[in-house]
């Protein structure tokens, strides 16, 4: 199993006392599997995604990714995990504004030491970005920026792709287009993908879907 989550809990402090966002989550994802994570706003979807991606720390439980216990790792090791094994695609694209498109796409792969220039060209061409490689993110449309984020993730060849509302900021037509390209390319790399979404359409395209409600998996 690529990803195993056992009895995961996460508590956020608040003025009204601690809020238990995740309450004993158990979840497994196999290599190459695609999974939709759905639920109401505030149900803990994004929190789960961040914990699995090594972006945040949990208050209890265990997460094993490719044989490594994420929650036992220090900051440096988690950063290495994010560079090599995990790719994250955010709703707001989160490109690095000071780098041009080409440097943005190459950034994570170069950090991970897995950069291939020819593959960047191939990915850019398949995502329709080849004419925009020297532009800066601010010069691109939302759809184009999300394609850059997808290319960035795929070029680094992660084992697990985490996508948080990847099409949430796009109009319907562009969203369909981007989703189609993303699924095709993910299938090519053989990576597993976990997508947080409110969209029924996006969820229906995944092999499996799980629903979170008030911090528990249904």
Partner 1 sequence: MIRVGFSAILSHWRRNLLQLFSLVFGLALATALWSGVQAINAEARASYDAAATTLGEGQYDQVLPRSGNTISQDQYIALRRAGWQVTPVLDDALGPIRRQVRLLGIDPLTAPAGLMPVGQGEGRDIVRVLTTRFVFVNPNTADLLPEDPALQVIIDDAVAPGVAITDIGVAQQLLGKPAQINRLIVANTQPINIPNLDKIAPELFVKSAIGGQDVQRLTDSFHLNLTAFGLLSFAVGIFIVQGVIGLAFEQRRSLVRTLRALGMPLRVLIWLFVGELIAFAFVAGALGVVMGYLIAAVLLPDVAATLRGLYGADVVGALQLRPVWWVSGFAIAFGGTAIAAGGALWKIARMPILASARPRAWAVESNKNAALLALAALALLVTALVLAIWGRGLLVGFVLLGCLLTGAALALPYFLLGVVSLGRRFARGPISEWFWADTRQQVPGLSLALMALLLATAANVGVSTMVSSFRETFVGFLDQRLAPELFVSVSSDEQAKTLDAYLSEHAREVLPVVSIDLQVADVPTALFGVRVESTYEENWRFLRAQGDVWSLVQSGNAAIINEQLARRADLWPGDMVQILPDLTLPIAAVVADYGNPLGQVVINEAQFLQRFPDQRAQRFGVRTDDPEGLSQRLMDDLSIEAANIVNQEQIKAFSLNVFERTFKVTGALNVLTLAVAAFAILMSLLTLSAMRIPQLAPAWALGMTRRELGQLELVRAVVLAALTTILALPLGLLLAWVLLTVVNVEAFGWELPMYLFPALYVRLGVFALVAAAVAAMIPARRLAYTPPGTLLKVFANDR
Residues that bind partner 1 (CB under 8 A): 12, 41-42, 46, 50, 53, 55-57, 75-76, 79-80, 82-84, 88, 90-92, 94-99, 103, 106-108, 110-112, 152, 164-165, 168
**Helix H or strand E segment including 178:** helix 172-189
Closest separation in Å from C-beta 89 to partner 1:
10
Evaluated on CA atoms 106, 104, 154, 178, the torsion sign reads negative
Q: How far apart are CA 199 and CA 175, in angstroms?
A: 11
> Which residue number, 76 or 118, has a Cβ lying nearer to partner 1?
76
Closest separation in Å from C-beta 176 to partner 1:
19
Q: How far apart are CA 144 and CA 65, in angstroms?
A: 31
198-203 — which CB contacts under 8 Å span 24+ positions? 198/38, 198/41, 198/165, 198/168, 199/167, 199/168, 199/175, 201/176, 202/36, 202/166, 202/167, 202/175, 203/36, 203/38
Q: How far apart are CA 216 and CA 209, in angstroms?
A: 14
> Which residue number, 25 or 86, has a Cβ lying nearer to partner 1?
86
Closest separation in Å from C-beta 163 to partner 1:
11
> Which residue number, 33 or 165, has a Cβ lying nearer to partner 1?
165
CB atoms within 10 A of CB 156: 26
Residue 76, token pair as written in the block = 């440096």
> Which residue number, 1 or 213, has a Cβ lying nearer to partner 1?
213
Closest separation in Å from C-beta 111 to partner 1:
5
Closest separation in Å from C-beta 59 to partner 1:
12
With beta carbons less than 8 A apart as the criterion, state whether 214 and 47 touch: no
> Which residue number, 132 or 152, has a Cβ lying nearer to partner 1?
152
> Which residue number, 108 or 189, has a Cβ lying nearer to partner 1?
108
């Amino acid at each position: 199993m690529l990803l195993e989550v056992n009895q995961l809990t996460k508590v956020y402090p608040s003025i009204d006392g601690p809020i238990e966002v995740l309450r004993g989550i158990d979840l497994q994802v196999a290599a190459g599997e695609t999974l939709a994570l759905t639920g109401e706003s505030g149900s803990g979807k994004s929190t789960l995604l961040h914990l699995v991606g090594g972006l945040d720390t949990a208050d209890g439980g265990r997460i094993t990714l490719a044989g490594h216990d994420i929650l036992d790792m220090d900051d440096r090791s988690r950063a290495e995990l994010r560079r090599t094994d995990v790719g994250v695609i955010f709703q707001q694209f989160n490109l690095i504004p000071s780098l041009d498109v080409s440097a943005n796409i190459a950034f994570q792969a170069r950090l991970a030491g897995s950069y291939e220039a020819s593959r960047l060209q191939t990915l850019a061409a398949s995502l329709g970005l080849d004419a925009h490689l020297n532009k800066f993110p601010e010069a691109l449309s939302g759809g184009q920026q999300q394609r850059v984020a997808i290319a960035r993730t795929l070029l680094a060849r992660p084992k697990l792709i985490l996508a948080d509302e990847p099409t949430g900021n796009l109009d319907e037509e562009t969203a369909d287009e981007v989703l189609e390209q993303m699924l095709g390319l993910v299938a090519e790399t053989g990576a597993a993908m976990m997508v947080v979404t409110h969209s029924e359409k996006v969820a229906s395209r995944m092999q499996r879907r799980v629903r979170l409600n008030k911090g528990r998996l249904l």
